[in-house]
Amino acid sequence: MSEAKATKGRNHGMTLTDHTTGKSYELPVLKGTLGPSVIDVRKLYGDTGHFTYDPGYTSTGSCESKITYIDGDNGILLYRGYPIQELAEHSDFLETCYLLLYGELPNAQTKAKFVNDITYHTMLHEQIHFFFRGFRRDSHPMAVMCGVVGALSAFYHDSTDISNPHHRMVASYRLIAKMPTIAAAAFKYTLGQPAVYPRNNLNYAENFIHMMFSNPCEEYKMSPVLAKAMDRILILHADHEQNASTSTVRMAGSSGANPFACIAAGIASLWGPAHGGANEAVITMLQQIGSKDKISEFVRRAKDPKDNFRLMGFGHRVYKNYDPRAKVMQQTCHEVLEELGVKDPLLDLAKELEHIALSDDYFVQRKLYPNVDFYSGIIFKAMGIPASMFTALFAVARTVGWVAQWIEMIEDPAQKIGRPRQLFTGEVERPYVPMQKRK
Ligand code: CMC
């Protein structure tokens, strides 16, 4: 509809006028509780014979959701209405999981039951440890996680009936509970050490740290500061509305695929450096920069349209202001480094890079601020976690967001199989050319 023009109509709709035919169409406008209204284009194709075109979905709402809200202009992130800073300060990860899944904070009794249920699902089917052995020892942990999580559907048949609410709940609990065990086992596998079994006397974050760093030969001494920092990092990454991996989970699940397969798809999407893989890429970039005097060279490259280098950990599709998670992360970073007595030159480098970028016109005009991944890698590095595990940690935290969004989708009466259309610009129909006539 090259000449079509959308004009704001009455407050309940918009009028779309096709100037080629002179016809007008009334499009309903739907209002949420927060954020911009959406134009309902579900009947657009049927009424006009036109699709919308929106690569990267920059203007498209793909679903209705009640879970997470982001106000990117003002740097606000709410889980079920609660600001992320308040949850990071006062809540803990499993309470946040309950909130994301059920919509309300639990009372003491429901919280105790939830924590117990998750804790008693952390062990893996023993056969899964043999499955690990099929991977090369130098596999990337995310490659192992894609494979192992996808394979859970071959181990837990009793929770793959997506039309059964009890199956959905059991599968969700299993995924949240077992993800740290899988991630830690993937790490141990690359080290050539035995996988460490979960311990029910530890909380979620402590258990994860214990499974990553203890070994059967000696007692492991847990640092409460590190455990608290890990818990906070998990909260910060728990959900982020319709990002690439969550949309991938929803898309995979829209066909009726089982939850283990859907979450494996989410892990694959998260792995990319434009998404969860950025935390690993930030450390690689800071190491490449090496010293403060080289920062300007890398900033120049990031601004050069002919160079595809980007400042990793900077910019966000939705945040056009400081990512609120990055603020909490920066503070946590200081606490962790102080507790460990670590003086990491990469932190000074990161702060200087942030300072230079935030006062540079290119970044200011495009509203490119540090995102959650900018400081997280420095914390993980100080904790002794190798860069290849950073995105795996993100996957552990995001699992609850993925399953909460997956359940919401399955239970949404408006849910349909995800099936976008296209603007076709390829060859028009033509007859088959026999081999002897081809050039
Ligand atoms: N460094 C330099 N320039 C950038 C950057 C960057 N990190 N990010 C965006 N730009 C420029 C981009 O070149 C474009 O400039 P122009 O208008 O002149 O063409 C403009 O800013 C808008 O960028 P875009 O690519 O259209 O924005 P997007 O919304 O499609 O991409 C993004 C968002 C996060 C993929 C991108 O900012 C990026 O690649 N950042 C680096 C990777 C990163 O840190 N990712 C983690 C995101 S937060 C964690 C998560 O959600 O997983």
From the candidates 316, 334, 355, 360, give the one annotated as an active-site residue.
Answer: 316
> Which helix or strand (DSSP H or E) is residue 23 part of?
strand 23-30
| Ligand 1 contact via 198 beta carbon (within 6 Å) | no
Structure tokens at 353: 């890079």
Indicate if ligand 1 lies below 6 Å from the C-beta of 258: no
- Which one, of 300, 335, 313, lies nearest residue 226 by Cα? 335
**pLDDT value at position 5?**
59
Ligand 1 centre to CA of 412 (Å) is: 32
**What pLDDT does 378 receive?**
87
The answer to whether 316 is a known catalytic residue is yes
Does the Cβ of 368 fall within 6 Å of ligand 1?
yes
Q: Does the Cβ of 377 fall within 6 Å of ligand 1? A: no
Say if CB 222 and CB 212 are below 8 A apart: no
d(CA 432, CA 343): 67
Amino acid at 81: G
pLDDT given for residue 1 in this prediction: 54
Distance from chain centroid for Cα 288: 26
Question: Is 129 one of the catalytic residues?
Answer: no
Q: What confidence score (pLDDT) does residue 313 get?
A: 92
> Among 77, 310, 354, which is best to mutate for testing ligand 1, by the most ligand atoms less than 8 A from CB?
310
Per-residue pLDDT of 373-389, as tens digits, reads 898 888 898 888 998 89
Phi and psi at residue 374, to the nearest 5°: -65, -40
Is this structure's pTM higher than 0.85? yes
C-beta of residue 322 within 8 angstroms of C-beta of residue 357: no
How far is 235 from 319, CA to CA, in rounded Å? 18
Structure-token match 């740097």, residue found: 75
114 lines ligand 1 (CB under 6 A): no
- Residue 24, token pair as written in the block: 């007008």
**What is the CA(315)–ligand 1 centre distance, in A?**
5
- Three-state DSSP class for residue 28: strand
Q: What pLDDT, on the 0 to 100 scale, is given for residue 342?
A: 83
Atom number of ligand 1 nearest to Cα 240: 51
**Which of the residues in the chain have pLDDT under 50?**
2-3, 8-10
What integer pLDDT is reported at residue 9 of this predicted model? 42
